Structure 1
Amino acid sequence: MIPMPALRPWIADVTLMRPDSALPLVHLPDAATALVYRRTGARDGDLRVIGPRSRASYYPGKELPMCIRARLRPGAAKPVFGVPVSELRDQAVPLTDLWGARAARLEDRLGELTDPGPILRGIEEALLEGLYESADARDLLLGEAIESLSGHGERVAALARRLSVSERHLRDLFTDRVGLSPKRFAGIQRVRTVLARAGSAKWAGLASDTGYYDQSHMTADFHRLMGVSPAAFRAGHLPARTPCAA
C-alpha cells in the first residue's frame, strides 16, 4: 500500500496483512514506531502503537481478518503521539491510552468501513493532524544524524563532533524522538541490513559492508538482537515462541 503524498516524508511503509495462525509471528528489531489497525471482527477493530523494538521477538501465529501497519520513520512519532518515544520502546500501547476519546472515535469510524483503502485513508488523516507542526532545528539535526547512522560508517562520537553537539545532547535527542540511543539505533539498522542481504552476499563481505569489525563481531551483534546466529536464522532455526500479550 502507498501512503498519501503528504505523508511520504514521515512514513517508511504501509503494509496490509492477513495474519495466518499457522505461521509464526517474527517481529524484527526496528527503530521505527508503527501504528497498527487490527480488524478483529465484522465491525470491530483496535489501534495500537508499536514502539521501537530493541530486539527480535517470536510469537505463535494469530489469525485476523485484516491488519494494516503504518511504520513511521524514526523521529516522526513524538509529534504524532505526544510522548517521548522512549516510553513506547518494546511496548504495544493502545492508541486510546495516548489519544483518549479521539482514538475511540477513530476506531468507531474505521469500524464502519470494510475496504483497506478507505481504512488507510482514515488512519492517514489522523496522523496528519499531528504532523502539521513546522520543522525546528532539532528536526533538522535529527534527520542528518539518522541518515549518517543508517549509512553504517560514522561513529557516534565522530558524528557528534561533526554536528557540533555533545554526545549527551545527541543521545537525549534520540531517546526523546526515536526511543533508542544513537548506538542502539545504528546497531538495529546494521542488523536489518544483514537480514535484507543475507541471501545475496558472503558473511565476511557482508560484515565489512555493514560496518562491523569482522564476521565474528557481526555474528555476536546479530545474536544479541535476534536470539540466534545469522546462519541459523536464515535456515529457519528460530528461538522458542512466547505467548503474545494481545
Structure 2
Amino acid sequence: MSSLLVPPALRPWVAGVDVATADHSVAVDLPDHASTLLLRRDRRELVALGPRTRASYHLGAAGHSCVRVRLRPGRALALFGRRPGELTDRALPLDALPGLDLDRLATDPTGALTAALADRPPPSGQLDVAARLLADATPVAAVAARLRLGERRLRALFTEATGLSPKRFARIDRLRAVLAAEAGRWSEIAVAAGYYDQSHLTAEFRHFMGVPPAAFTAGRRPAADRCVP
C-alpha cells in the first residue's frame, strides 16, 4: 500500500489517500472511526464504507487494486448523501458522485478529488475540535464544556455526524494509536496511549482486533475471509 500526500485544498475533507494492490497476503482492515470512499480501479466501481467497529481479515485476489480515500470526521453525509450511522460496519455501492471523474480518480486520485471538492463550502470546524479533543483523551464532559454544549447535545451531534458515540470514537482512536506505535513493552505502550494498565489495553485490543496484542504481532490472527471478486 502506498500513501499519497494530501494537498492543502483537500485537507478540510480528506484525512488520507492510499493506493493498494492485493498480492495473496492477508489484508487487515483496522477498526476505524472514519468513513472511506473506495474505488476498485479494475472495474471503476465506487463503494462507500462506514466506520468499522471491529477489525476484518481478508485475502484478496492478486492484482486487484483500489484507491482508498479516508474522510475527516463528519464529511460522509455531505459527500455520500447518507448518514454515517446507516453505514457503520457496512459497505454501500455508489453509482457516482457529482463532479468526480472516476477515470481520473483511478490514475490521479488527489487531482480528481481536488477538482470535485473545489467548489464545496468547507464543513464546520466544530466537529474537528471535538474529534481532536477526544483523540487527546479529553473526557466527554470537558469536550462539551469546551464547545459550550450540553453532554447530551454533544453526543447527539457527534453520533449523527460520525456514526459513532464520542466514547466509541475515542476508544477506536486510542487503539489505532497503539497499532501505529513503535515496538516496545506493552505496559509502556498502554500508558502512552492512555490506558489504565496493560490488562486494560489487552482487553480493548482483543475486543476490537479479535486476538490479544501479542498474538496479533506474532501473526496468530483470526482466519481470513476471501474477498468477493
TM-score after normalising by structure 1: 0.82
- Aligned pairs (5 A) from 1:206-245: 206-245=189-228
Which residue type is aligned with residue 62 of structure 1? A
1:90 matched to 2:106? The reply is no
Q: Which residue number in structure 2 is paired with residue 8 of structure 1?
A: 11
Q: Which residue number in structure 2 is paired with residue 205 of structure 1?
A: 188
> Equivalents in 2 of 1:46, 1:134: separation in Å?
26
Q: 1:205 deviation in Å? A: 1.6
> Equivalents in 2 of 1:196, 1:190: separation in Å?
10
> Equivalents in 1 of 2:228, 2:49: separation in Å?
13
Which residue type is aligned with residue 126 of structure 1? A
The answer to whether the 8 A contact 1:198-1:234 is kept is: no
Report the RMSD for the aligned CA atoms in angstroms. Answer: 2.3
> Equivalents in 2 of 1:88, 1:114: separation in Å?
22
Q: 1:186 deviation in Å? A: 0.3
> Which of the two has greater helix per residue?
1
> Equivalents in 2 of 1:11, 1:114: separation in Å?
14
Which SS does the other structure have where 1:185 is aligned? Answer: helix
- Aligned pairs (5 A) from 1:127-142: 127-128=117-118, 132-135=120-123, 139-142=124-127
> Equivalents in 2 of 1:154, 1:65: separation in Å?
41
Residues 172, 244 of structure 1: CA spacing in aligned structure 2 closer, same or farther, 3 A cutoff?
farther
TM-score after normalising by structure 2: 0.88
Which residue type is aligned with residue 206 of structure 2? H
The answer to whether the 8 A contact 2:9-2:114 is kept is: no
Which SS does the other structure have where 1:49 is aligned? Answer: strand
The answer to whether the 8 A contact 1:80-1:127 is kept is: no
Residues 158, 38 of structure 1: CA spacing in aligned structure 2 closer, same or farther, 3 A cutoff?
same
- Aligned pairs (5 A) from 1:94-173: 94-96=93-95, 99=97, 102=98, 106-107=101-102, 110=103, 116-117=107-108, 120-128=110-118, 132-135=120-123, 139-151=124-136, 153-173=137-157
> Equivalents in 2 of 1:159, 1:114: separation in Å?
37
Per-residue CA deviation, residues 20-50 of structure 1 (Å, 9 max, x unaligned), is: 1x2112100011111111122xxx3211111
> Equivalents in 2 of 1:114, 1:206: separation in Å?
38
Which residue type is aligned with residue 5 of structure 1? P
Q: Which residue number in structure 2 is paired with residue 196 of structure 1?
A: 180
> Equivalents in 2 of 1:89, 1:245: separation in Å?
20
Residues 114, 194 of structure 1: CA spacing in aligned structure 2 closer, same or farther, 3 A cutoff?
closer
Residue-pair matches, total: 226
Residues 64, 35 of structure 1: CA spacing in aligned structure 2 closer, same or farther, 3 A cutoff?
farther
Which SS does the other structure have where 2:225 is aligned? Answer: coil
The answer to whether the 8 A contact 1:208-1:214 is kept is: yes
Unaligned regions of 5+ residues in structure 2, if any? none
> Equivalents in 2 of 1:157, 1:125: separation in Å?
39
